[in-house]
Structure 1
Amino acid sequence: MSKVKVVACSGIGKVFGLMTREAVLEVTNHLVPDKAETVCLAHVVTGDKAGSEKVKGCTCITVDGCPALCSAKSVENAGGIVKASFRSVDEMRNHRGVNAGTATALTEDGWQIIDEFAEKIAAKVNELAEEE
């Protein structure tokens, strides 16, 4: 069985990008490493053969920071099958007024949000892994 590919946006300069990367790393390194792995979005975007081949025809979850959906669009363009898409900006709507941090560092509250966000993504990984 192939692992579910979980691809984070590369959002630089905003806390939302940092949140996507940290949540994906929590999912793939700690919560469900036996069922999920991450793929570098930069390799997918630039058309790197190895990066594109990692997602082509595979079940993918994308995690974007903003409404531009760079990860989701790029994975789809590379032939990945996006079965679920998450956005950290949506996750922050559940935590209005909370300071999650900056583009380079999360606050304690930010890390708590990441834990919740990662749990949601991991639950989707488990669901998709059971389907295959």
Structure 2
Amino acid sequence: MSKIKVIPCSGIGKVFGLLARESVLMVTQEKCPNETETLCLAHVVTGDDEVVAKIKGARCITMDGCSKYCAKKSVEAAGGEVEHSYKVPDYIKPHRGEDHGTGTYLTEDGWKFVDELAGIMAKTVNEMQEEVK
């Protein structure tokens, strides 16, 4: 069975973009490395043959930093099956007043929030795996 693709937005220069990217990296490298992989959104957008071949028809999770849903829309346009789409602002409300960092640096609060987001996605990965069994 192929790995679930977990794709973050690029959101360069924005803290929500960095939170999205780091949470996806935590899922794919630490929490669910055997069940997931991530791909570069820029390669998806530019139509890189190898990346598009991996995305086409694949089960995907996206994590966007804002309501423009660039990751979700790009993965769908490349033929990926977005089964779950997340957006950083949907989870930030309980964390008002915290300083998560900048577009290039996360604070301790930022890393805690990344771990929370990664936990949400890891739970989804486990549920998706159970559906297949």
Class of the TM-score when normalised by the shorter of the 2 chains: over 0.9
How far the C-alpha of 1:54 sits from its partner, in A, is 1.1
Question: Hey, what does 1:41 align to over in structure 2?
Answer: 41
- The ranges of structure 1 where at least 4 consecutive aligned residues each deviate by more than 4 angstroms after the TM superposition are none
How far the C-alpha of 1:39 sits from its partner, in A, is 1.0
Distance in 2 of aligned mates of 1:77 and 1:88: 21
Sequence identity (%): 56
Map 1:1-132 → 2, pairs under 5 A: 1-132=1-132
Which structure 1 segments of 5+ residues have no match? none
How far the C-alpha of 1:92 sits from its partner, in A, is 1.4
TM value normalised by structure 1? 0.97
Distance in 2 of aligned mates of 1:36 and 1:13: 26
Count the aligned residue pairs: 132
Distance in 1 of aligned mates of 2:36 and 2:119: 13
How far the C-alpha of 1:94 sits from its partner, in A, is 2.5
Across the aligned residues of Structure 1 and Structure 2, the Cα RMSD in angstroms comes to 0.8
Distance in 1 of aligned mates of 2:73 and 2:94: 25
Which structure 2 segments of 5+ residues have no match? none
Q: Which digits, 9 at most, give the CA deviation of each residue in 1:81-123, with x for residues without a partner? A: 0000111122212311211100000010111111111000010
